[in-house]
Structure 1
Amino acid sequence: MCAKVLVVEDEDAISHLLSYNLGKEGFDVALAADGDDALIAVDEEKPDLILLDWMLPNVSGVEICRQLRAQVSTRDIPVIMLTARGEEEDRIRGLELGADDYVTKPFSMSELVARMRAVLRRTRPTIAGDVAVFADITLDRETRRVRRAGRDVHLGPTEFRLLDVLMSRPGRVFSREQLLDRVWGTDVYVEIRTVDVHVGRLRKALNRGKERDPIRTVRASGYALDETYSAG
């Protein structure tokens, strides 16, 4: 299961950068451009974590945090504040209002992801870790190891990222274009058939003997991990 993250940020460049990079890290990302949109998004589907910009139009991030903590249904949602404010008194104010952590802009994505996972480990331990599991397949993002039914599966870096994306949402059909964006990135030109080649390599590495193939090909659409697959 992947963590659902709501990014509340009014600067398009930052929000899309976060969406892209967090998506590559296996998070399920939703975006809100202001406080009102954020409250509506939370009401429609509670996220596992909120990245909340301090300075927002209309309703400030500080006020959003206060409102979330005031309601029983949302008070336990972890919040990480994102802000250009670096003064100690501002950090203390944000934490006193209920924020779980505080990251000052500009920040590195690796630091932000590490802080997010640390908060999730405390608050959502079942979905937090750097280990993804699907049936008898285990993917460890920290050690870059994959195991199936107790044996090591040796994958190249591209096949590892491809499996990571598929395991982030078992059952979801990812189009070849979506896989290109998430695995290779939007700033790299790669032919669409390259996806098929690497899926073939991934299948070859995963499947041994009479093991059932967990990857489902959806004609004219793309690929998915088959939710009907079981280790038995």
Structure 2
Amino acid sequence: MKTSTVFTLALSLGVGGAIAETGSQRGPLSATDMQAVSPALERYASTRLAGDLWKRNDLSPRDRSLVTVSAVIARNQTVLLPEQLELALKNGVTPAELSEAITHLAFYAGWGNSIAAAAVTKEIFLQKGIDAGQLTHAEEALLPIDEKAEAGRAARVEQSIGSAVPGLVRDTTDVLFRGLWLRPGLAPRDRSLVTLSALIANGQVQQIPAHLNRAMDNGLTRQQASGVLNHLAYYSGWPNAFSAAPVFKTVFEQRESK
């Protein structure tokens, strides 16, 4: 296993007790600017988000940043993106991983949202001296596929959609699960984390069971999954988190009963 892969895994699992960079959680606004409009909002940003949520240990700082960036892109909240990209880089998310997350989210949150994110990220990369040599290439050797798991996924899609939309079934297999999901720019666990964050952020609860199971199969623990949902209540709204919570509960119970 490459040293960089070991380091990334350690960051994901919170090994080494990494200290979180929390930022201000005010986006581009200063404390004075925010207090001039909403003193209570500034207080929540400084005490509840930066002072508490970002320091919790149910997620590593790296995971928390990857989840937040994914949710912000999925909801097209570009006003928050510069600060969150800066935090992600400080918390151990690599430029290549950010680049790959933007690509992945084009398929799970919409093309326009990823284009908007790319425009913002370009400026951050320029400021940081990050160039194309630090990113994954457009064409890379794909990761090996689990043919048994893929056959099960394909069968479930065929059963739910069948011949109603054959083009969607075909592209889901060829473009996503035999292409995008096998790109090496994100570890399988991280790709699942990005996907799950986008689904929660946009309230797409019907898609959550398959992707939560996939995330946990890829190494996401129950504690971490719970932490993701708790975190996203702040960035995607309490209703989206509460809509997803019963689905999480069902998946957890089903996995425990096996």
Which structure: greater strand fraction? 1
Higher Cα Rg, which structure: 1
Query: With structure 2 as the length reference, what TM-score do the two structures score?
Result: 0.29
Which structure: greater helix fraction? 2
Higher relative contact order (CA 8 A, sep 6+): 2
